[in-house]
Amino acid sequence: MFAREEEPINYTMNLLSIVGARPQFVKLAPFSRAVRGRGWNETIVHTGQHYNPNMSELFFDELGIPAPDFNLGVGSGEPGAQTAAMLEGIEELLLERRPDAVVVFGDTNSTLAGALAGRKLGIPVVHVEAGLRSFNRSMPEETNRIVADHLADILFAPTCKAVAHLDREGLSSRVFHTGDITVDAILENRKRAECNSTVLTDLELESGQFSLLTLHRPYTVDDPQTLNSLLNQLKELDGTILFPVHPRTRKTLETVRISVGDGGSITGNLRVIEPLGYLDFLKLMIHSKRILTDSGGIQKEAYLLRKPCVTLRPETEWVETVESGWNVLLPVESDDLADRIRGFQPSGEQPPIFGRNVSRQMMDAIEAGISPLGLKRDNELLAAER
Ligand code: UD1
């Protein structure tokens, strides 16, 4: 008789994942694969923050992510209006679908909107890549990640430093130290990139003979003078500098008369091309001499691929990569960038900063923390302790 009141043995979780920008598609791929591996349901919502086909659809195709169930098509805008449009669209979907949890990734405006919409409706929020801090309040991402962490119910921390930040902010009871999901993304795609991408031949590049540059932070790219002076310094380096250009950066480049054009453009040793898909970009990272970037995600990809990384910022969220000697911080204001970059040649051991089997650990934690079975187990444990 009592057995009838037991929870069903196989509870099928219903998750709703929210993504909007390029780095989130990369994180979604292994996460979504693991969700499907458990036989759970996932609704994928694309906010439309990134909408150019080569910054969006291409990633879904290459990474084998199911097409989004919904695309809110919010597009560009001032941060408040952009986030508000996302919030409204996500709330409507959450009311209709009532998932067991909302999953948000990283630190973009889409992350903030998803976390806020879920919290307001009392739907558990899961934050993948929680606890990162740059301690630079002028970065929009810093606001997004702090707010998302405080709203979320389950925090997946990628590193020990991230765990420590969350502890300090009083959030330790919600933290799972899973490692970084990029580890799974690289493992899943490294061989595919090597075998399937023809980017080196297409661009007539020789392995180990070029630097790879990416820039997209407002602080680095919005002011034409800053961007121009940075590029002029980088051009002093030997060898080709390949620069796939983010749309934000493209706008400023045009004001300093560097055009991207269809086939790219070359100024001295700086070769400017359109943004690339993940497999081509991964292959270029693997074969580059060094990586120059202001991105967050690319710093850890460089580390995982054992590439020297020059971070063109005064601070980083991935402090451990700097401590290991494989990443160096060079603010764009420095006037001796080329010399310092030439002198940066890391070697030696790399501590395992980012963990392994990350998406599997995330699924276990979601099952334990959100499914009725997991919650029932928790209640039984609590009762036993009493
Ligand atoms: C966003 C994220 C950042 C992430 C980055 C990865 C925020 C606050 N920032 O920055 O954390 O590291 O994505 O790329 O969420 N644009 C296009 N086509 C596109 C996408 C953007 O032309 O497909 C243009 C828009 O006109 C916009 C500009 O690029 O003005 C910037 O886009 P936005 O979504 O505001 O932020 P990102 O700079 O891409």
Return the best residue to mutate from 76, 87, 214 for the ligand 1 pocket (most ligand atoms within 8 A of CB): 76
Q: Which of 288, 272, 201 is nearest to 239 (CA)?
A: 288
For the CA of 55, the closest atom of ligand 1 is 23
| Ligand 1 binding site (Cβ under 6 Å of any ligand atom) | 21-23, 49-52, 55, 76, 107-109, 140-141, 216, 246-248
Instruction: Show pLDDT as tens, one digit a residue, over the chain (386 residues).
Output: 444 555 556 789 999 999 999 999 999 999 999 999 999 999 999 999 999 999 999 999 999 999 999 999 999 999 999 999 999 999 999 999 999 999 999 999 999 999 999 999 999 999 999 999 999 999 999 999 999 999 999 999 999 999 999 999 999 999 999 999 999 999 999 999 999 999 999 999 999 999 999 999 999 999 999 999 999 999 999 999 999 999 999 999 988 777 665 556 777 899 999 999 999 999 999 999 999 999 999 999 999 999 999 999 999 999 999 999 999 999 999 989 999 999 999 998 999 999 999 999 999 999 988 866 555 556 666 676 66
| Cβ-Cβ contacts under 8 Å for 213 (sequence gap 6 or more) | 234, 241, 242, 243, 291, 292, 293
CA–CA separation, 258 and 230 (whole Å): 13
CA–CA separation, 300 and 116 (whole Å): 27
CA-closest residue to ligand 1 atom 29: 248
The pLDDT value given to residue 379: 61
For the CA of 107, the closest atom of ligand 1 is 11
- Catalytically active residues are 216
CA-closest residue to ligand 1 atom 5: 21
The pLDDT value given to residue 1: 41
CA-closest residue to ligand 1 atom 7: 108
For the CA of 51, the closest atom of ligand 1 is 23
Distance, CA 28 to ligand 1 centroid (Å)?
18
The pLDDT value given to residue 2: 47
